[in-house]
Structure 1
């Protein structure tokens, strides 16, 4: 007998028929002698509907109240799934974030889990019932409802699996596993049977939508085996697990892209210690994440055309954060006596990821040659041990992805 956590995303619970399918899947796993905990997202499109209502009331809704609204989507799903399991002759009990209890920090709309009290989950499954837990939500130390950000139900699922010592966490979704790239962009993309935590973490951070990044971080930290698979098929999916020699032999595992990036260029700030710290400190205080950063000598920008002693700082933020970030970026730029601030939303980040990069030279150079052959200009580059990312014009995103996928032989069967 194993303790299994099963997470079902929005499309998997997108209708009453699909909720019944979730109930049957959970009951089938329980019938094999396993203890089952189900984590559910809101029904497909429901969160967007709820947030749209908030924006109809006010242009910039209060973050605390946004979480109160958004959390109701998962509450509905949890109750309906519990009812569906009961209707199929099984035993089930729904549990919300504050009932579990999933304790988070107070960063509304993007809270982070601090601790999980698993006693109610244990007491439920020990009674032979399936615990149906609302994903995406928690409660802070003040008792306020919080949400974990987009894809937060993945984080809930893996965090619950870690907290209760589950043997595996199954992520059921509308795709049948992790692919070498987005099949909608590159038809030759193929399913990966096994991928390391490190590679999945990079792919998730670089735009791959299959798993939310924090869920992978938690899985890696606590060694939770994660199985990404389809809600609509019994086929084996992709196992996200510890790295081994077979995974290290593959130079490039996947290609990711992210169009939710905006470039900010703060020009002509004084080139002295502490200036960059002040700029990014102000941004961090507003809970806005910064990605790629480039600092370079300022282009001639002074009253006499001289940029001496000045520097330009370019960085990227999420487009979804840009409207909120612009006012305080402009404010700190003025306080630093910057010449100007420019914003560019017409960019995208394209990346390659693979454990094999650690032991193979020339991977980045090959990536640059492939993009150059397609006439794609690179405006920024960032690297880690197992990834290389390039900033390109967003109109070239799909072309870049296909070229890199084919150029590194990812279409070939393994």
Structure 2
């Protein structure tokens, strides 16, 4: 007998028919003698609909009340799924995040889990019930309801698997595993049997939406046996683990892209010690994450430098830079949108010379200019114009020998919650 944690996203429970399919999948595990904990997201577009309704009443609603509102979607899902399981003759109990023992820090909208005391989950499992848990939510020590931010249901599932010492945590989505790139862009993308935590974490941080970065971090820190599978097929999925078998000749394992990118350039800055510390210290203290940073050469004691932030942080970042102009004099600040960051990832890149050259050559052959470049041991990222995204991703996918003869399976609209 195994203890299995299963997570189903919004597309997997988006209708009563899909709820019934999920219930039958849970029943298969129960009837095989396994203990089952199920984490679910809100149905379909429920969360977006709730956000839209809130905006009609208040353009800037209080964060605490938004958390109170948005957790309703998951509570609907767990109750309906539990009813579907009961209808096929099996026992289940539904639990909100706080009923499941999930305590978070006192931050609304993107709280982090601080503790899990799953006593009620264990009690339900020992009594023969399947435990159905609302993802994306918890509560502070004072009892205030919180949400974990986008991707929070993945994090709930992995964190529960760690706390329960589950044998496996299965993340069910609309694709039947982790692919070498988004199969909606490259139809011949390669499904990976295995991928390392580090590779998956890089891909998730760089734009691959199949798993949330915090969930991967949790899995790595607690050595959770993590599998990504399709809720629409019985196909074997992809295992995320500490070490994975590398396919012969494939130094690059995946290609990710992120369109939530803006470039900010600060021109004519006096080239003296401490300038960068003041600029990026001010950004950091105001909660703005900076990604790629590039400084040009110095001329007449002045330098130019550029950095990227998320598109949603662009205006706030410019405002911060303008406010510190008295401390850090500069000629002007400019910005650019309509950009995409395209990244290649692979644990074998560090020991394979020529990987970067192949990337630059493939982009050059498309007649596309590279605006910024950044590297680490297992990834290389470039920033280009967003209109070239599909052409570049497809060209890179072919250049690194990742194309397959089979067409990737995509079961429905992708769920990011």
Shift of 1:64: 2.6
How many angstroms apart in 1 are the aligned matches of 2:123 and 2:295?
A: 55
Q: Are the structure 2 counterparts of residues 103 and 199 from structure 1 closer, same or farther at C-alpha, using a change threshold of 3 Å? A: same
Q: Residue deviations 1:88-142, cap 9 Å, x none? A: 2111111112222222223322222222112121111111111111111122344
Verify: 1:384 aligned to 2:376, yes or no: yes
Give the secondary-structure state (helix, strand or coil) at the position aligned to 2:243.
coil
The question of whether the paired residues in 2 share the 8 Å contact of 1:102 and 1:117 is answered with: yes
Shift of 1:334: 5.5
**Corresponding residue number in structure 1 for 2:98:** 98
Structure 2 residues not aligned, in runs of 5+: 407-417
Q: Are the structure 2 counterparts of residues 185 and 328 from structure 1 closer, same or farther at C-alpha, using a change threshold of 3 Å? A: same
**Corresponding residue number in structure 2 for 1:362:** 354
Verify: 1:339 aligned to 2:319, yes or no: no
Indicate the larger mover: 248-257 or 381-390: 248-257
How many angstroms apart in 1 are the aligned matches of 2:389 and 2:281?
A: 31
Q: Are the structure 2 counterparts of residues 324 and 97 from structure 1 closer, same or farther at C-alpha, using a change threshold of 3 Å? A: farther
How many angstroms apart in 1 are the aligned matches of 2:277 and 2:223?
A: 35
How many angstroms apart in 1 are the aligned matches of 2:224 and 2:372?
A: 35
Shift of 1:347: 0.4
Within-5 A mapping of 1:125-140: 125-140=125-140
**Corresponding residue number in structure 2 for 1:186:** 186
How many angstroms apart in 2 are the aligned matches of 1:268 and 1:60?
A: 37
**Corresponding residue number in structure 2 for 1:202:** 202
Give the secondary-structure state (helix, strand or coil) at the position aligned to 2:99.
helix
**Corresponding residue number in structure 2 for 1:77:** 77
How many angstroms apart in 2 are the aligned matches of 1:162 and 1:242?
A: 15
Within-5 A mapping of 1:168-317: 168-246=168-246, 250-297=250-297, 308-317=300-309
Shift of 1:78: 1.3
How many angstroms apart in 2 are the aligned matches of 1:57 and 1:37?
A: 37
Shift of 1:369: 0.9
**Corresponding residue number in structure 1 for 2:10:** 10
Aligned length: 406
The question of whether the paired residues in 2 share the 8 Å contact of 1:251 and 1:360 is answered with: yes
The question of whether the paired residues in 1 share the 8 Å contact of 2:188 and 2:405 is answered with: no
The question of whether the paired residues in 2 share the 8 Å contact of 1:177 and 1:191 is answered with: yes
Verify: 1:350 aligned to 2:342, yes or no: yes
Give the secondary-structure state (helix, strand or coil) at the position aligned to 2:292.
strand
How many angstroms apart in 2 are the aligned matches of 1:345 and 1:60?
A: 25
Q: Are the structure 2 counterparts of residues 247 and 196 from structure 1 closer, same or farther at C-alpha, using a change threshold of 3 Å? A: farther
TM norm structure 2 = 0.92
Shift of 1:225: 1.4
The question of whether the paired residues in 1 share the 8 Å contact of 2:107 and 2:146 is answered with: yes
Structure 1 residues not aligned, in runs of 5+: 299-306
How many angstroms apart in 1 are the aligned matches of 2:326 and 2:146?
A: 34
How many angstroms apart in 2 are the aligned matches of 1:106 and 1:334?
A: 35
The question of whether the paired residues in 2 share the 8 Å contact of 1:14 and 1:43 is answered with: yes
The question of whether the paired residues in 2 share the 8 Å contact of 1:196 and 1:247 is answered with: no
Q: Residue deviations 1:27-86, cap 9 Å, x none? A: 211111111000001111111111122222333333332222222111111111112112
Q: Residue deviations 1:304-323, cap 9 Å, x none? A: xxx63333332222223335
Shift of 1:268: 3.1
**Corresponding residue number in structure 1 for 2:411:** none
Q: Are the structure 2 counterparts of residues 291 and 46 from structure 1 closer, same or farther at C-alpha, using a change threshold of 3 Å? A: same
Shift of 1:387: 0.7
Indicate the larger mover: 245-254 or 345-354: 245-254
Give the secondary-structure state (helix, strand or coil) at the position aligned to 1:179.
coil
Q: Residue deviations 1:278-310, cap 9 Å, x none? A: 322332233332211222346xxxxxxxx6333
Q: Are the structure 2 counterparts of residues 342 and 28 from structure 1 closer, same or farther at C-alpha, using a change threshold of 3 Å? A: same
Give the secondary-structure state (helix, strand or coil) at the position aligned to 1:259.
strand
Shift of 1:373: 1.0
The question of whether the paired residues in 2 share the 8 Å contact of 1:248 and 1:356 is answered with: no
Give the secondary-structure state (helix, strand or coil) at the position aligned to 1:246.
coil
Give the secondary-structure state (helix, strand or coil) at the position aligned to 1:217.
helix
How many angstroms apart in 2 are the aligned matches of 1:261 and 1:324?
A: 14
Shift of 1:250: 2.9
Shift of 1:324: 4.8
TM norm structure 1 = 0.93
Indicate the larger mover: 140-149 or 222-231: 140-149
**Corresponding residue number in structure 1 for 2:322:** 330
Shift of 1:233: 0.9
Shift of 1:327: 3.5
